[in-house]
Structure 1
Amino acid sequence: MAKDTSEVLASYMQILSNLIYASERLTESEMAMIISSLNRWVTKKNLSVKRSYGVGTIVQMEWGNNFSPELSYKHPAVIIEEWANTVLVIPTTSTLVKVSAAYHPIDNPSGKWYYRKVGAVEGFAHDCALILNNAKIMSKARIISVLGMIAGDVNDDNGVFREVRKTMIKNFFSKEWIEHQKLVQAFEQEKEKNKALQEAYDKLLEENKLLKSADNKETAEKNEKSEETN
C-alpha cells in the first residue's frame, strides 16, 4: 500500500508543500477550482457511468488540472460522440477575446476556424465560443450536470452540429478531407455523365417509338389498300 512506502509518502509531502507554495501565488477562485477538481477526482475516479446522454447534449464537465493551453476545471461542453463510458466533447469559453475571434457564418465569416461562436440561437445560455482544437475524449464520470441540447436536428447537414463535425474533420485530417472531396467531385461528374447518357438514351427510345409507330401505320395502310383491291 502507498501508506507503507516511505518514497511515496515523501512524494506526497512534496505535493502538499508545492500546493502551499502555489497557493501564495494563485487567486482565491483558482485555488478553489484546483481543490474542487482534486476532490472530485479522489471521490469519483473509479466511478463507471454507463448512462446515455446523446450527441448534441450540452453538459457541465470537470476538465481537471491540465497544462496550458489545455482547458482546466469546470466548463460547459457539447457531446460530439458517445460510447459506453466515454464521450468526445468540445468545451466552450466565454472569454471575450476568443468569442470575438470565433468563426460565425453571419457575424464573423473570416473568424478562426478552431473557435465557433454560438449563443441562444444554437441552444446556449449566452454567447460563447466552442473550442474545437481542445476537443477531448473523457470519462462520463467527469460530467457534473446536463445543461441543455444544441439547437436543431443533429442529422441535418445544414445545422450547426454537423457543421462543427465537418470543420473538425476538414482541419484535423486535411489530407483525408481533400481525398474525400476529390471522390465527391468525381462522383458528381460521373452523375452528370450518366444523366447526359440517360437523356440521350431516352431521346433515342422516343425516336424508336415514333419510327415503330410510323412503320406500323404504313403497314396498316398497305394492308388496308390490299384488302380494298381484293
Structure 2
Amino acid sequence: MMKSTANMFWSDINDIKRFSENTEDNKNKRTKKTASIILAGVQLMENYIKGLKNLSAYDASSIILSDANWIRNNEKTDFTDGYGNVVSAKIGSIYYIDFGKTFSDELAYFHHGLCIGKKDGKILIVPMTSGTKYFSSCYHPINNPTASKKYRQALMSEGFEKDCILKLNDTKFISPGRIDKETVSINSDIVEQIQEQVFGIQFPELYQKFYNSLKKIDKYEKQISDQKELVSRLKQENNTLRMKSRKFENNIDIKE
C-alpha cells in the first residue's frame, strides 16, 4: 500500500546492508554503538511518515496498528481472546488476522481468514477479501463450476458473514500471534471442499495423481463388486444343479 516517492531518501539505509550479513562480528556488534544503523533507522522513520501522509486513514492506520502489533506480539505463541485467555484455534473457524507487510498482489494487514489446518503450533489460513469487482468470475462448485479455482466464492448461505472471496492461492501457515479475534465457524462439509480445492491449487500435479488414483479405486471396486455378484450367481447355479443332480440320482435308485 505504501509507495516510494521522490521526496524519500535511502542512502543511510543502503549503507547498512553489510551489517545484515550472517557473520559473528555482526551478531556481536551492538546497534547503540553503530552510528550508521541509528542514522538508517532515523531515515527510515522519516520515509515512513512521508509515506503515511499519502495514504487514506484506513491504509495508514492499518500499517501503524500492524507494526505496533508486531512489536508487542512477535514472540507470542498462542492465540488469546480479549481477556487474555489462551484459545485453541479451530479448523473451520474464521479469524480476523494481521497479515502484516506483504509484496505485490499478496493480501496485507488486517483481513479475515479461514482456518483449514493446524500443525506444530502454526495455523493454515485461507485469506479472505470482499473483492466485489471480480466475485462473479470466481469458482464455486454450484454457481460457477467452470471458473478458475485459484479463487472461490464464499457465500452467506454457506455460513460466511457475507458474500466474499477465498484467495486459495494465498493459503499460508501463520503464527497464532497474528490472530486478533474469532468470528464465525463454517460447516465441516464446506471446509472439506475448500481443503480439497487448496490441495489442487497448491499441488496440481500431486492432486492429479491423487484424483487418478481415486478413479482407479472406483474402477477396481466396481470390478470387485461385479466379480462378487458373478461368484454369488455361480454359487446359486451350482446349488441348483446339485439339487437337480441329487433328485436325478434318487429317481435312478427307486427304479433299480
Q: TM-score, normalised by structure 1?
A: 0.87
Corresponding residue for 1:170? 200
- Greater mean deviation of Cα atoms: 62-71 or 32-41: 62-71
The residue type equivalent to 1:90 in the other structure is V
* Paired residues for 1:19-58 under 5 Å: 19-49=48-78, 51-58=87-94
Q: C-alpha distance in 2, partners of 1:120/1:180? A: 31
Deviation digits for residues 66-108 of structure 1, max 9, x if unmatched?
1121111110110011124210101111121132322223433
Q: Does 1:60 align with 2:96?
A: yes
Segments of structure 2 that go 5 or more residues without pairing to the other structure are 1-29, 80-86
The residue type equivalent to 1:63 in the other structure is F
* Paired residues for 1:45-194 under 5 Å: 45-49=74-78, 51-150=87-186, 152=187, 154=188, 159-194=189-224
Displacement of 1:56 in angstroms is: 0.7
- Greater mean deviation of Cα atoms: 215-224 or 132-141: 215-224
The residue type equivalent to 2:43 in the other structure is Q
Displacement of 1:224 in angstroms is: 4.3
Contact 1:79 1:89 in 2 (8 A): yes
Q: C-alpha distance in 2, partners of 1:126/1:196? A: 48
Q: C-alpha distance in 2, partners of 1:48/1:31? A: 27
Q: C-alpha distance in 1, partners of 2:152/2:139? A: 5
Segments of structure 1 that go 5 or more residues without pairing to the other structure are none
Q: How many aligned positions are there?
A: 220
Q: Indicate how the Cα distance of structure 1 residues 5 and 61 shifts in structure 2: closer, same or farther if over 3 A, else same.
A: same
Contact 1:98 1:115 in 2 (8 A): no
Please point out which of 205, 218, 222 is paired with 2:235: 205
Displacement of 1:219 in angstroms is: 3.0
Q: C-alpha distance in 1, partners of 2:212/2:144? A: 28
Q: C-alpha distance in 1, partners of 2:108/2:51? A: 16
Query: Once superposed, what is the RMSD of the aligned Cα atoms?
Result: 1.9
Q: TM-score, normalised by structure 2?
A: 0.79
Q: C-alpha distance in 2, partners of 1:204/1:5? A: 90
Q: C-alpha distance in 2, partners of 1:96/1:55? A: 26
Displacement of 1:39 in angstroms is: 0.3
Q: Does 1:6 align with 2:42?
A: no
- Greater mean deviation of Cα atoms: 177-186 or 74-83: 177-186
